[in-house]
Structures are given as C-alpha cells and as structure tokens.
C-alpha cells in the first residue's frame, strides 16, 4: 500500500499559520478582501463556493460573492470587474468556472487587474509564471508542489507526466515542475496510448476529470500519484485514479477527497493574503 | 536518406509574399519600422544582426539598430525602451540576446509595449500564447510550424519531444505544439537519459545548443527531426543533430544551416509586418 499524501492534514496545518498572518495584518488595520464572481447556477460551483467561503472565514479573510444571473452580458461582467479593480479595499478577484457560453472568458480574465488576480489567469501573470518571475501561483499547482515538498519528494531530474492541459492545472503545473528541473510531458484527450507515457512516469499527475482513467497497469512500480480529479461517480466523489488498485503499485498517492482539493482551497487563500501583503508593501 | 525540410527555400518563398504586403502598406504611406537593441559586442549577435538587417532590407522593412555599450545601465536601457514605446513610428522592438550581467532581462522585456513586442517575450504576450489567444508568435516556433505545415506534417496525436526549455524556443514551441494537439515532452540538461524520450518521438526538436547532441541511436526510424541548434564547431556551423547519421534513420530532417535559421529571421519580419498592420487596423 502506498503512503498517503494527506492534503487535508497539510491544508489544516498551513491554515493555522495563515490565520496568524491574517490576525497580524488585521492588528495593523488591514482586512484581506476576496471577491468571487459566480455566473449562473452550476451545482459543482455551489459546492466549491461553499468550501471557499468556509475556509476564508476560518482564516479571517473577508469573502464577498457576486452572484450574476446566467443571462448576464459580457459588458455587465466587464463592468463589475472594472469596479472591483478600482475598489481600493479589494485584494483578490476570481471568476468561478464554468461560465455560460455568451461570456468571452479570455477577455474577462484579461480585464482583471493582475495585482488582484489570485488565480494567476491574467495574461501578464501567466507570462510571468512561464518566465520564472512568479507574481501569484495558480492554487492547484501551488498546492501540489507544497504537498510534494512536505513529503520531501524531489522533482529534479524526475520524469513527470501530467494528464490534462488546462489553463488552471496542467499548463501552469508544467511550468512550475520544469522550473524544479523535472522533465515534463503533457498528455491530453488526443494523446494516443496514455499508458506508453504513464508507465514510465516517476510522478504522475491526473487532471483530466475522468473517473478511473488511471488504472494500476498504467503505473510504474513506486511512482508518486497525484490525483487532481473531482468527479461525481455512482453517487460519490472520486478522482481520476483507480485508487483501490493503484495504491498497491504506487509509493505515494493522494486520496480523493482529502488530497489535492483541500490544498487548492488553502493555496487560494494564501494567494489572497500574499496579494494583500504585497499591496501594503509587506 | 531523409527528405530535407528546406527552410531556406520556404523562407525565400514567404519573403516574396511578405514583400508584396509591405509594398502595399508603403503605397498607403505606412513604413514598417523595426528597432533592435544590441548591448556589447557578442560575435554571434553580430552575425544575427547582419542577417536580420539584410532580410529586412530585402522585404522593405526599415530596421534601426540601437547599439549600446557593454557597460550600459539598466536605467539607460529602460529609458531607451520607453522612448521606443512612445515613438509613434516604431512598430517592433527587440533586444538582441545575450545581454551583459548587470541587465535584468526580465524587467527590460516586461518594459516593452506588448503591441511592439515582436519576439513575444513580454509577460502579457507569453500569457496570451499559453491561453491560445496569440498576439504575436515567437519567431523560431512560428518558423518551425510553418515548415511542418508546408511539408504537410501533421502534429495531432503525435509524440513531440523538445530538447531545450528556453523562453525563446522550447517553452513557446511547447505551447504551440500542444495547441496543435500533439503530446509534448520538454527535456533539458537535467533530464536523465535523453534517449529514453527521444527514441519514442515522432517529431524531435533539438534546441539545446550542443553540437552532436542527437545521434542516430537516439532517433526512432521515420521520425521528423527539427534542428534548432546553431553551433560553431571545428570551424564550421553545425546544429545539435549529427546530421550525417541521423538522416539515415529519419523521414524528414532540417539541415543546418538552411533549415530553421532562415525561417526564424523570416518569421520575425512577418511579426513586424503583422504588428504594423494591426496598429493601422488592417
């Protein structure tokens, strides 16, 4: 059985430290304020919003939800973003995904002030990340690296295989893993024979959003398995990895739930606090 | 023997078309102006500068060289960049690499107006590239894709292996290959056993700047070989690939010189023209 990479435990540890930082900021009259824009009524989004709200409250971050109707126009969304950009008190802005079809997401993200872009999705911050000049770090990638560091899992020279090329997980994680001197392969739905790559991975990251995509026969003995998937399957939450069997092959593995998920939320809060501190020259 | 991917031929073809575009712009009173900043006296830079100057002249682009002394300060460089940003007539700005140690390259690049950033090295344009919202394309990556397209070499579902993780070649090329639905692996100096990856590559891109790095035993039969290296070795210019032997294994191969090099220069000119046209709403 592989050793569990306990994201929940680490997230709680880090939350305690973060809370102290926030208490200190508050004692200086600084209240971190995090604004989330949600459009429509996606049921998964509702769960994520609730989790973020709870975590923010625990840590002492003020979180404000801007709930927009599913028929909101691009112009209305941009106008809200501009307001939040200009509002002195706002430290972080994020758009909860997914957004409805009439919204041009790239344009909306590009409209966010990079100094308030907690998700690292504005062009300027994505570019800084790829150039090694990090301004903020995308929450999931930051969470995964934090977890690997905590368990002293070295990345230098390792063969890292990432399944999924999304802008919120796969791509930024590739940038950050490369920076740690890993050799990085990015796989996706158009990749022929995933297993040809995964079987040779020292560290395998599954971020495709597909239940049981990674089975035991696709994993090298002793590999480190990071499961980013959060899928509803047969009435419960499962990852992209067939945990029950893969745990017999891997050396380390993240559970779902309780692995990457809690660290993503915690990392997001860390970015809010970091942007707040930077704004105040700390 | 592999089929030659004749970059020189394609660059000349494209230059003829580009010249027509420039002639048309000039007939409307628009003169593309491309400014290159060179610091110090790097001998390789001198050759590249000369090549660019010649190609620009052929096409009808006005090129201005700003030669700075090797002891120039960051402040002086930034002040020049600001001048060029503000000057209406300037359509493209690039900093010739390498720069001396006292220069903070990231800061200097970030100072370039993204609308004049022909090299796609400003954070905003790097970010746009990774988000699939290209404003300009980095010359070498653009040249390579142009060459593959010209020879009808499909990337979808292919195993692409890139040796080299530079900001000017490896990383942007990875972004653009991923967008074409290739599976992309990025290798570098810290990669253990390059051949484990290269032997399985359908398309192998060598951009490490190391003569004879890729030998025939590292190449899969029928692979497409793109050699980005330009190295001075035993008194002549060679790539990163042992051409003489690899040509017996590969299906297609770029020569050095006459492969990627001429297309890089041509692609740079295309970006200058594109930025000029866009500025004038064309």
Query: Given this model, what pLDDT does residue A110 score?
Result: 95
**Chain A with chain B: Cβ pairs closer than 8 A:** 104
B150 and B108 together in one domain: no
B131–A165 CB contact, under 8 Å: no
B166 and B250 together in one domain: yes
Sheet of strand B224-227: strand arrangement: A3-4, A252-253, A224-227, A203-206, A159-163, A183-187, B183-187, B159-163, B203-206, B224-227, B252-253, B3-4
Q: Which of A98, A113, A128 represents a domain boundary (last residue)?
A: A113
Q: CA of B170 to nearest chain A CA: how many angstroms apart? A: 11
A157–B192 CB contact, under 8 Å: yes
DSSP states along A154-218: --TT-EEEEE---TTTHHHHHHHHHHTT-EEEEE-TT-S-HHHHHTT-SEEEE-S--TT-B-GGG
Residue B108 Ramachandran class (φ > 0 left, ψ -120 to 50 alpha, else beta): alpha
A104 and A59 together in one domain: yes
Asked casually if ipTM beats, i.e. exceeds, 0.90, the reply is yes
Query: Given this model, what pLDDT does residue A282 score?
Result: 87
Q: CA of A9 to nearest chain B CA: how many angstroms apart? A: 32
Query: Given this model, what pLDDT does residue B135 score?
Result: 86
Average pLDDT over residues A9-34: 98
B146 and B252 together in one domain: yes
- Residue closest to B13 by CA, chosen among B44, B50, B59, B54: B59
B100 and B159 together in one domain: no
- The parent domain of residue A93 ranges over 29-113
Q: Is residue B203 part of a domain?
A: yes
B105 and B163 together in one domain: no
Catalytic residue among B52, B116, B158, B171: B52
- Check pLDDT > 90 for residue A23: yes
Which residues, other chains included, contact B87 with Cβ-Cβ below 8 Å and sequence gap of 6+? Answer: none
A101 and A146 together in one domain: no
Contacts of B122 in chain A (CB under 8 A): 127
Q: Is residue B266 part of a domain?
A: no
Q: CA of A54 to nearest chain B CA: how many angstroms apart? A: 31
Alpha-carbon span B249 to B65, nearest angstrom: 43
Which residues, other chains included, contact A48 with Cβ-Cβ below 8 Å and sequence gap of 6+? Answer: A96
A172 and A211 together in one domain: yes
Query: Given this model, what pLDDT does residue B44 score?
Result: 86
Query: Given this model, what pLDDT does residue B198 score?
Result: 98
Query: Given this model, what pLDDT does residue A135 score?
Result: 86
Average pLDDT over residues A246-268: 97
Does the CA dihedral A153-A155-A157-A158 come out positive or negative? Answer: positive
Contact (Cβ atoms closer than 8 angstroms) between residue A251 and residue A226: no
A181–B188 CB contact, under 8 Å: yes
Q: Is residue A131 part of a domain?
A: no
Residue where the block lists tokens 């398995």: A225
Q: Does A164 count as an annotated binding residue?
A: yes
- And the tokens for B197? 């990856």
Query: Given this model, what pLDDT does residue A181 score?
Result: 98
Q: Is residue A128 part of a domain?
A: no
Q: A191: nearest CA in chain B?
A: B157
Confirm or reject contact between A166 and chain B (CB < 8 A).
no
Q: Residue B222: exposed, middle, or buried by beta-carbon count in 10 A (0-12, 13-18, 19+)?
A: exposed
Q: Is residue B72 part of a domain?
A: yes
Q: Is residue B52 annotated as a catalytic residue, yes or no?
A: yes
Query: In Å, how far from its chain's centre is CA A202?
Result: 22
A178 φ, ψ (degrees, to nearest 5)? -60, -40
Chain A interface mutation, best of B131, B136, B168, B173, highest count of A Cβ atoms under 10 Å: B131
Query: Given this model, what pLDDT does residue A91 score?
Result: 98
Binding residue ranges of B for NADP(+): 164-166, 230
- pLDDT tens-digit readout, A44-102: 899 899 999 999 999 999 999 999 999 999 999 999 999 999 999 999 999 999 999 99
The total domain count for chain B is 2
- pLDDT tens-digit readout, A87-146: 999 999 999 999 999 999 999 999 999 999 999 999 999 999 999 988 899 999 999 999
- And the tokens for A209? 């959003």
A144 and A229 together in one domain: yes
Confirm or reject contact between B122 and chain A (CB < 8 A).
yes
Q: Is residue A1 part of a domain?
A: no
Q: Is residue B278 part of a domain?
A: no
> Any idea what the CATH number is for the domain that residue B145 is in?
3.40.50.720
Q: Is residue B20 part of a domain?
A: no
A222 and A151 together in one domain: yes
Sheet of strand B62-68: strand arrangement: B62-68, B33-39, B92-95
Contacts of B106 in chain A (CB under 8 A): 131-133
Contacts of B109 in chain A (CB under 8 A): 131
A183–B200 CB contact, under 8 Å: no
Q: CA of B167 to nearest chain A CA: how many angstroms apart? A: 7
Nearest-10 Cα torsion for B162, B164, B170, B171: 110
Q: Is residue A181 annotated as a catalytic residue, yes or no?
A: no
Query: Given this model, what pLDDT does residue A257 score?
Result: 95
B195 and B249 together in one domain: yes
A166 and A232 together in one domain: yes
> Any idea what the CATH number is for the domain that residue A46 is in?
3.40.50.10860
Query: Given this model, what pLDDT does residue B71 score?
Result: 97
Of A6-10, A278-282, B116-120, B199-203, minimum mean pLDDT range: A278-282
Confirm or reject contact between A178 and chain B (CB < 8 A).
yes
Residue B160 Ramachandran class (φ > 0 left, ψ -120 to 50 alpha, else beta): beta
Alpha-carbon span B254 to B224, nearest angstrom: 9
The parts of chain B modelled with pLDDT lower than 50 are none
- pLDDT tens-digit readout, A184-241: 999 999 999 999 999 999 999 999 999 999 999 999 999 999 999 999 888 999 999 9
- Check pLDDT > 90 for residue A242: yes
Helix count (H) and strand count (E) of chain A? Answer: 10, 11
- And the tokens for B174? 């990875």
Query: In Å, how far from its chain's centre is CA A196?
Result: 27
Residue A243: other Cβ atoms inside 10 A: 21
């Amino acid at each position: 059985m592989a050793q569990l990479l306990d994201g929940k435990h680490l997230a709680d540890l880090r939350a305690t430290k973060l809370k102290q930082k926030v208490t200190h900021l508050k004692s200086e009259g600084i209240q971190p304020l995090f604004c989330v824009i949600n459009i429509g009524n996606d049921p998964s989004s509702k769960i994520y919003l609730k989790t973020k709200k709870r975590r923010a409250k625990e840590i002492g971050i003020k979180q404000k939800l801007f709930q927009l109707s599913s028929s909101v126009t691009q112009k209305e969304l941009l106008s809200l973003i501009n307001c939040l950009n200009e509002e002195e008190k706002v430290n972080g802005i994020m758009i909860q995904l997914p957004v409805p079809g009439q919204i041009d997401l790239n344009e909306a993200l590009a409209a966010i002030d990079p100094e308030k872009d907690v998700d690292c999705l504005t062009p300027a911050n994505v570019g800084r990340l790829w150039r090694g000049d990090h301004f903020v770090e995308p929450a999931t990638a930051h969470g995964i690296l934090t977890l690997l560091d905590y368990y002293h899992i070295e990345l230098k020279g390792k063969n890292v295989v990432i399944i999924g090329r999304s802008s919120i997980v796969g791509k930024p994680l590739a940038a950050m893993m490369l920076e740690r001197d890993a050799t990085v392969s990015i796989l996706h739905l158009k990749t022929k024979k995933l297993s040809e790559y995964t079987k040779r991975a020292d560290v395998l990251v599954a971020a495709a959003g597909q239940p049981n995509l990674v089975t035991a026969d696709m994993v090298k003995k002793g590999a480190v398995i990071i499961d980013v998937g959060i899928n509803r399957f047969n009435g419960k939450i499962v990852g992209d990895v067939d945990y029950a069997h893969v745990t017999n092959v891997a050396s380390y593995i993240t559970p779902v739930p309780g692995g990457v998920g809690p660290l993503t939320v915690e990392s997001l809060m860390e970015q809010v606090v970091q942007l707040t501190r930077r704004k105040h020259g700390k």
